[in-house]
Amino acid sequence: MRFTEQKMISILRHRGYRLTPQRRAVLRVIASSHDHLTPAAIYERARQKYPDIGLVTVYRALEVLGKLGLICEMHTGGDCRSYLMRRPSGHHHHLICSGCGEVIDFADCDLSSLEQRLTQKTGFKIEGHLLEFFGRCRNCQRVDSA
Amino acid sequence: MRFTEQKMISILRHRGYRLTPQRRAVLRVIASSHDHLTPAAIYERARQKYPDIGLVTVYRALEVLGKLGLICEMHTGGDCRSYLMRRPSGHHHHLICSGCGEVIDFADCDLSSLEQRLTQKTGFKIEGHLLEFFGRCRNCQRVDSA
DNA sequence: CAGTAACTGAAAACCATTTTCATTTATATT
DNA sequence: AATATAAATGAAAATGGTTTTCAGTTACTG
């Protein structure tokens, strides 16, 4: 955590952004949650530590933090935007519990052979992919069957 | 196309929905486009054939057609909602050109071994996945380098 | 052909996000 | 430490996509 915060500071500075308590608050909220949070949820939580923060500022902080690669935006089914801490891993994907919203990261997607096949068949130059799994975590499976 | 329309009628009836010219218009627009269209774009095109249709009705038609599995909703980056004809294939994915929006379907994703690995590691019961590739189609590559 | 529930269109409501603008603040400079 | 200034903030208003409401219309059943 300390690491992340240090890193954040250096990244912000390096790109000419300022380190404000609001941005710190937003980042901490996201860092301390394992779920993906909507802007409104982030706002609610950030307010507990920093009551004067405005929703607008949360949106702006999310934009900046996203631009810096510190957090990432997700598009999961219904509600379109939600944010999650970007783990150091870089390229990765999500396994999302449809019950409680828990998110597990994984990186080993190995879609290269599929990519090659698609390139050959279509002539597309493939630049990226979006891969997310949906399911039920252990806990929610238990609740389901109860 | 005729096939799709016949099928649509039977599916609608079977589930207690009515076949209205508006729904037909929306479905035809989506069926006749290879791109994924936003509700607004669908509205514009539907109006050409059926000038009295309202945007609200387009939204409602999309909801129904989606529920019936005739079209599918996509979440691609920026603009959240867009719709595409569901091809008969059933389970499939999209390869999307970031230049012109062309969409190519493919079905052979073969993520089963990855799924198994994830299940073992996490205890999740995996129920589905979202996989989309992004890239540049042949045409847009040409334009890019021009 | 009549009855009825489903459907439609228009306007209004809603809600998330963005913009505007006056004020405040983090940071670099003295 | 004090100052200058560009960046950031908060509040209010604007925006824009989506949903709801409601009165009138229409597809289908009998």
The last residue of a domain, from among A86, A116, A132: A86
Distance from CA of B20 to the nearest CA of A (A): 27
Same domain? B142 vs B118: yes
Within 8 A by CB and 6+ apart from A21, the residues are A50
Domain harbouring B104, CATH code: 3.30.1490.190
Same domain? B80 vs B98: no
Report the mean per-residue pLDDT for chain B.
80
- Token look-up 């091809």 returns B87
Query: In chain B, how many domains are there?
Result: 2
Element (DSSP H or E) covering residue A138: helix A138-145
> How far apart are the C-alpha atoms of A91 and A103, rounded to whole Å?
15
Domain harbouring A59, CATH code: 1.10.10.10
Element (DSSP H or E) covering residue A97: strand A93-97
Q: What average pLDDT does the segment A121-134 reach?
A: 83
Same domain? B146 vs B76: no
Same domain? B73 vs B98: no
Same domain? B74 vs B107: no
The last residue of a domain, from among B50, B70, B86: B86
Interface test with A, best of B74, B124, B134 (most A CBs within 10 A): B124
The last residue of a domain, from among B86, B109, B126: B86
Same domain? A21 vs A75: yes
Residue A1 has pLDDT above 50, yes or no: no
Same domain? B75 vs B15: yes
CA end-to-end span of chain B: 37
Task: Evaluate if the CB of A13 falls below 7 Å from strand C.
Answer: yes
pLDDT number for residue B84: 67
Same domain? B61 vs B120: no
Same domain? A9 vs A79: yes
Same domain? B94 vs B144: yes
pLDDT number for residue B91: 66
Same domain? A61 vs A131: no
Residue A81 has pLDDT above 90, yes or no: no
pLDDT number for residue A84: 67
> How far apart are the C-alpha atoms of B38 and B40, rounded to whole Å?
5
Residue A126 has pLDDT above 60, yes or no: yes
pLDDT number for residue B3: 40
Task: Evaluate if the CB of A55 falls below 7 Å from strand D.
Answer: no
Task: Tell me if A95 and B122 make a contact (CB, 8 A cut-off).
Answer: yes
Q: What average pLDDT does the segment B82-96 reach?
A: 65
Task: Evaluate if the CB of B14 falls below 7 Å from strand C.
Answer: no
Same domain? B78 vs B126: no
- Token look-up 């290269």 returns A112
Span of A20-29, A80-89, A94-103 with lowest mean pLDDT = A80-89
Helical residues (DSSP H) of chain B, grouped into ranges = 2-14, 21-31, 39-49, 55-67, 112-122, 138-145
Neighbours of A34 (CB within 10 A): 13
Q: What average pLDDT does the segment A105-125 reach?
A: 86
Which band of pLDDT confidence, cut at 50, 70 and 90, is reported for residue B2? very low
Q: What average pLDDT does the segment B67-79 reach?
A: 68
HEC string for B12-47:
HHHCCCCCCHHHHHHHHHHHCCCECECHHHHHHHHH
Domain limits for position B141: 89-146
Which band of pLDDT confidence, cut at 50, 70 and 90, is reported for residue B105? confident
pLDDT number for residue B107: 76
pLDDT tens track for A56-72: 999 999 999 888 877 87
Residues in chain B: 146
Residues forming a β-bridge with A96 = A103, A134
Structure tokens at B126: 């995996």
- Token look-up 């073969």 returns B110
